[in-house]
Amino acid sequence: MLNLGYLSIAFALFLSAYFLLLSDHRYLFSYLTIALLWLWGEYLLCEWWRRYQVIMSQQGVLIISMDQSICWQGYFGTIIEVRFRSRWGYLLKIELLECTQGWLWLDPSMTTDEQYRTLALWLNQHYR
């Protein structure tokens, strides 16, 4: 698979060399600016794609037992704290036994309304 980062760098270098060698030098700064903006845009696009893939890999079934232990993506652990609460979701700091600490975002659209209300009540009761 072709890497977009290398392709964009090659394209920006080609544009820069083309405009340096074959164009009027009065517009050199604007051509270099266009090439740098192109690189910056490609970098942002590639970074967005990597972050999107990481976020999509964080999906899975979360099982919370009554003794406050969790099972997520086959790993067992505990909820350390609820870091952020809002009507859009909860940000949990979790510690998995096989891994290190991490963050888990719970969104209302992930469950039914009744399940989310039950989860919100449970989190507010145990992690105040």
Using pLDDT thresholds of 50, 70 and 90, give the confidence band for residue 27. Answer: low
Structure tokens at 64: 């919370």
For position 62, what pLDDT does the model report?
83
Structure tokens at 48: 């967005």
- pTM, whole model, 2 decimals? 0.55
Q: What share of the chain has pLDDT > 90, as a percent? A: 0
Report whether pLDDT(98) > 50.
yes
Residues 19/31, Cβ–Cβ less than 8 Å: yes
Distance (Å, rounded) from C-alpha 52 to C-alpha 54? 5
Give the mean pLDDT of 39-68: 82
Residues 14/35, Cβ–Cβ less than 8 Å: no
What b-and-e string marks burial along 23-55, b requiring 16 or more CB atoms within 10 Å of the CB?
eeeeeeeebeeebeebbeebeeeeeeeeeeeee
Give the mean pLDDT of 71-81: 85
Give the mean pLDDT of 45-66: 82
For position 1, what pLDDT does the model report?
42
